[in-house]
Structure 1
């Protein structure tokens, strides 16, 4: 990697802000970036991976320093997620509990969403939203791989989402779009976007996002604000805005590593020491800032009232989009499901059909919002037969399975990822699960000794 060249304006700014500590900060920005990964506790025997688990990330459950590959079976089967270690702390700091309704407002690419799904343990709801359509697609794929069935993935503007979910969530994570100073070390191109004007532009954008986020949080609910930048304008000053303008109170988190928020950078705000700053010289990860808040006042009551008046109409509209799910069709789906071991939380009685797709919705009414995935898609009905989905594969990975074709070596695994057929000596027929190193990652269909490949074309390599 080429040498990192910092803009003079950036160096002058932090020389002034950090004084004697500036030199160690600049030196640390030239060091190698830290790499880490999280294991997926939703998966069966999830700690049985080929990676070194001897270097845990301090204070983050199931997280370890090390590098993984997107071609490994652990990644393909949803057992691991690669993530900057400092970026693991916001989801940890939010401290969600199973059964809660949680929003990840700026969710792509999905690292924090997958961590929140792990914490929810298949109970409650996660809404993972991303305003960028291309990034939302990547988010959906990463969440699908994680294997949870209690997530709604949306591609929405925050103001539109706020109209849909007034005072709805117990907890909200806002990992806000920012100037990205904490990305400089691992992505030198990020430097080219930086200017003080851009920092101020990001600060204004963050306030706009938070103005909408507050409308979706229940009174007494928790909000975790985070960025991957060092800029006070986007960190401590935003904390002051949340407290002084939006009725929030700063609270302590269970994250004890890294440095405290800096009072002088945040209007000497009470509780700013509870915020956490991850500097590169801390040797934890890249740059990150986080602070947790409790909503102590209620604003925007007119938004709540208006949305409540519309909610009954929306449910009726949403139900109109559902198709009749006949008894024969249900039996077709259940016949396939009967071949596999289902997680304890599975409830087929909630299954619905829309455009021949069969799914168990995480949210009943999704009218008027752009949805990429709602709950657990079981598969699609095609001319009197039922074809199971890739999401169902990852969901079934939560429990050990029996109707499985185990690939014998790396060459066979790569062949299957490429979309080719394989052969089996097992006396099986119909749809089977395909696994490698005891980790299922695809469906296949056995005819004789040939296994037809059902790995999705969009995922093939």
Structure 2
């Protein structure tokens, strides 16, 4: 219990004015002071849920299923392991098999799960960093289609890109804009949209005891003005028949119900609410009269969260459409270069096919999602797809992301690292082999059954090819 948690009296009085009648303010305050349960999501791009359960059993980790996400689990480790080895330094995390993600934050992507099934979709994540929901969407899409992940903060774009690499995501394009531009530059381009809006963060006090330090209704109102711009822009960017999920990690109706009502009032007859009362068993406990999910900390012992889902019923004219200026810096890979790349990965790894189109820029070889083709000139991107190679005078040097995204398809030149070898690898050291090898060229390294990167066979060792920005320090993988 955190008795030092700062909860302003005027915030409590405000909460009392909209707290549902079946909930008690004393319970709300009590749960705000409780430590937040750790939760993780299995990254099914790299590991199955069953394999994760088996791995937890072998490690002595205690898990409990999160009811709204079949890939999500509350997780407990022993006090000794917690003290000795941060979960971010475990092999399951380093290999990208799990993402440490608060349980409530798994809800917004789950509201799109059904819509993402079937044919590949073009999806927008308006405010994507640090990447928990983006990587969850990519997994729900099975790395197919196109997922544009936008982030306004330049420093957070780097964190987002690093998480996409770790999780083996291949179908994503990154952009760095105020999310309000999408309605004008990409009108009706997206099948589905997630707007997890910047907010006052009232629901996050269980992990951030200073979340309410600068709280005021005036600040709520200012933030809501930005949210209204974002939700209108997102609706313009949505195709007719598509869905828009709006979410926040705050509690106030000013940033939640009132923003949703602004959307409904702005496009009468063109938008309808999709009720979330059947999203999962027990969802009705947090469902509002409108059909939104208003998750209070005491309902599911989680962070506070708000989720709303809308369907666009018809085309909506936008008189403010704009066109990007400037030339696109990539061009389709020449046939000769593409053939060389295809032969290289086939001969070295047995990779016979891959999804996407090869593009080049200077010496870089990139793999773009097929669905990106028609959207390449719409906006400027920070990056599209993955960097798979770099040309040099003797051919193409393969890059890290080729291994992390397609390594599971390799039929030869793969190597499963032991714990001690994995520690060497993630610390940027060459991997020591017990016996000399006659193998040549690149090798895809795996950990926990998941591909984590490239190395190069060199007799008694594997030369490390881990990018410098991914090198880790401190105690890794083993705690005993």
* Contact kept in structure 1, 2:47 and 2:449, CA below 8 Å: no
The answer for the alignment partner of 1:87 in structure 2 is 105
Deviates more, 1:219-228 or 1:120-129: 120-129
The answer for the alignment partner of 1:269 in structure 2 is none
- Cα–Cα, structure 1 residues 400 and 66, in superposed 2: closer, same or farther, change >3 Å? farther
Deviates more, 1:379-388 or 1:33-42: 379-388
- Cα–Cα, structure 1 residues 355 and 428, in superposed 2: closer, same or farther, change >3 Å? same
* Contact kept in structure 1, 2:123 and 2:193, CA below 8 Å: yes
The answer for the alignment partner of 1:110 in structure 2 is 131
The answer for the alignment partner of 1:267 in structure 2 is none
CA distance in 2, matches of 1:351, 1:53: 44
How far off its partner does 1:214 sit? 1.3
The answer for the alignment partner of 2:68 in structure 1 is 59
CA distance in 2, matches of 1:381, 1:215: 41
- TM-score for both structures, normalised by structure 1: 0.88
CA distance in 2, matches of 1:332, 1:180: 47
Q: Look up the SS of the partner of 2:173 in the other structure.
A: strand
1:354-388: per-residue Cα shift (whole Å, max 9, x none)?
A: 12111121223534734233123212123434222
Deviates more, 1:437-446 or 1:164-173: 437-446
**C-alpha RMSD over aligned residues:** 2.5
Mapped pair 1:24 → 2:3: no
1:149-198: per-residue Cα shift (whole Å, max 9, x none)?
A: 22111112224333332101111111000000111111112222322211
CA distance in 1, matches of 2:392, 2:210: 47
Decide which of 77, 89, 93 is 1:75's aligned counterpart: 93
Decide which of 251, 256, 268 is 2:274's aligned counterpart: 251
Alignment of 1:1-12 (within 5 A): 3-12=4-13
How far off its partner does 1:71 sit? 1.3
1:113-171: per-residue Cα shift (whole Å, max 9, x none)?
A: 11111111232221111111111111112122222322111112224333332101111
Q: Which runs of 5+ in 1 are unaligned?
A: 264-271
The answer for the alignment partner of 2:348 in structure 1 is 339
CA distance in 1, matches of 2:315, 2:100: 38
CA distance in 1, matches of 2:154, 2:27: 39
The answer for the alignment partner of 1:292 in structure 2 is 309
Q: Look up the SS of the partner of 1:219 in the other structure.
A: strand
Number of paired residues? 441
Alignment of 1:384-423 (within 5 A): 384-399=394-409, 401-409=411-419, 411-423=420-432
The answer for the alignment partner of 1:268 in structure 2 is none
How far off its partner does 1:330 sit? 4.1
The answer for the alignment partner of 2:453 in structure 1 is 442
1:259-289: per-residue Cα shift (whole Å, max 9, x none)?
A: 34545xxxxxxxx1x1111111113421111
The answer for the alignment partner of 1:266 in structure 2 is none
How far off its partner does 1:110 sit? 1.0
Q: Which runs of 5+ in 2 are unaligned?
A: 77-85, 473-480
* Contact kept in structure 2, 1:156 and 1:370, CA below 8 Å: no
Alignment of 1:13-412 (within 5 A): 13-18=14-19, 21-43=24-46, 47-49=50-52, 50-51=55-56, 52=61, 54-66=63-75, 69-95=87-113, 96-98=116-118, 99-246=120-267, 247-253=270-276, 254-256=278-280, 257-258=282-283, 259-263=285-289, 272=290, 274-303=291-320, 306=321, 317-318=327-328, 321-322=330-331, 325=334, 327=336, 330-332=339-341, 334-342=343-351, 346-347=354-355, 350-362=357-369, 363-364=372-373, 365-367=375-377, 369-399=379-409, 401-409=411-419, 411-412=420-421
1:336-360: per-residue Cα shift (whole Å, max 9, x none)?
A: 443224486x147x21211211112
How far off its partner does 1:400 sit? 5.8
- Cα–Cα, structure 1 residues 47 and 147, in superposed 2: closer, same or farther, change >3 Å? farther
